[in-house]
């Protein structure tokens, strides 16, 4: 690919505090709603880029604050999930969506395999390769690791109300998932549950099964209802909640 303006083609992964001492590694696969100009917003009105279909509203800000509170490494995506979803296996139905919620994505209709491969090469692989390399180094150094991926969800999906304030999703990491839920439930006003509003599936998820379960690393996905992240105070409140519910063990040396 020829050289592109840096702002139009940012790094596929933003890495924060990679040498952090916490055993927690934070991922935010839907951190950005950015699309390079050549994609013409995939035929959508600009207002759609502010919707959940383009990114997880508030998730990046929570991840950055949580990284600072825990002294944890964090990896955030650089491109919109509408171009390619970093939490879907390549080739899966939702990897390059034709329909997101109730919205058709015209620019993804009829794209050729070469373009699919290009998006995977430029946006998907650099993110997950960087995460995998970090996890490899931690394993080599004998550092304990737990993975927490940060997401947000809509209060209403296709006309159905979602009452939960947050969900903790897991497959093999039941101990970590239930411990996190127990920590959140110390606030009795919160409605939090396991595996809502989604469940972890190898067919529809990537980070938890691949970076976590397949490596025998405890891994959970946190979903926060995004109307609760509509203000700075809400974002800070949820970062504080998660930091308290996830007391990070400290390693003796930084990687």
Residue 255 is assigned to a structural domain of this protein? no
Residue 69 is assigned to a structural domain of this protein? yes
Residue 7 is assigned to a structural domain of this protein? no
Q: Report the candidate in 6, 77, 75 with the shortest Cα–Cα distance to residue 36.
A: 6
Residue 70 is assigned to a structural domain of this protein? yes
Residue 3 is assigned to a structural domain of this protein? no
Residue 253 is assigned to a structural domain of this protein? no
Query: What is the domain range of residue 71?
Result: 13-245
- What are the φ/ψ torsions at residue 224 (nearest 5 degrees)? -115, 135
Q: What is the pLDDT along the chain (255 residues), one digit of tens a residue?
A: 444 556 899 999 999 999 999 999 999 999 999 999 999 999 999 999 999 999 999 999 999 999 999 999 999 999 999 999 999 999 998 999 999 999 999 999 999 999 999 999 999 999 999 999 999 999 999 999 999 999 999 999 988 999 999 999 999 999 999 999 999 999 999 999 999 999 999 999 999 999 999 999 999 999 999 999 999 999 999 999 999 998 546 443 333
**Four-CA torsion 61, 64, 68, 74, nearest 10 degrees:** 160
* Residue 22 · residue 72 · CB < 8 Å: yes
The pLDDT of residue 247? 56
Q: How many domains does the chain have?
A: 1
Which CATH number fits the domain that encloses residue 55? 3.40.630.40
Residue 137 is assigned to a structural domain of this protein? yes
Residue 6 is assigned to a structural domain of this protein? no
Residues 6+ apart with CB under 8 A from 164: 191, 192, 193, 196, 197, 225
The pLDDT of residue 251? 42
């Amino acid at each position: 690919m020829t050289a592109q303006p840096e702002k139009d083609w940012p790094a596929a992964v933003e890495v924060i505090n990679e040498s952090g001492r916490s055993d927690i590694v934070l991922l935010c696969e839907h951190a950005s709603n950015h699309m390079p100009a050549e994609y013409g917003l995939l035929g959508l009105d600009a207002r759609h880029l502010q919707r959940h279909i383009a990114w997880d509203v508030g998730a990046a800000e929570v991840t950055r604050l949580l990284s600072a509170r825990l002294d944890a490494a964090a990896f955030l995506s650089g491109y919109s999930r509408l171009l390619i979803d970093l939490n879907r296996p390549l080739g899966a139905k939702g990897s390059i969506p034709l329909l997101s919620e109730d919205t058709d994505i015209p620019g993804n209709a009829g794209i050729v395999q070469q373009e699919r491969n290009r998006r995977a090469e430029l946006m998907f692989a650099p993110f997950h390769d960087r995460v995998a390399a970090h996890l490899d180094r931690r394993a080599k150094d004998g550092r304990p690791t737990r993975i927490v991926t940060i997401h947000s969800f809509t209060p209403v999906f296709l006309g159905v109300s979602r009452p939960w304030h947050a969900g903790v999703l897991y497959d093999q990491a039941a101990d970590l998932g239930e411990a996190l839920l127990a920590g959140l439930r110390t606030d009795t006003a919160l409605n939090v549950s396991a595996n809502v509003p989604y469940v972890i599936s190898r067919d529809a998820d990537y980070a938890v099964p691949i970076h976590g379960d397949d490596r025998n690393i405890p891994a959970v996905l946190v979903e926060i209802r995004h109307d609760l992240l509509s203000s700075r105070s809400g974002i800070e409140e949820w970062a504080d909640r998660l930091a308290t519910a996830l007391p990070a063990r400290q390693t003796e040396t930084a990687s």
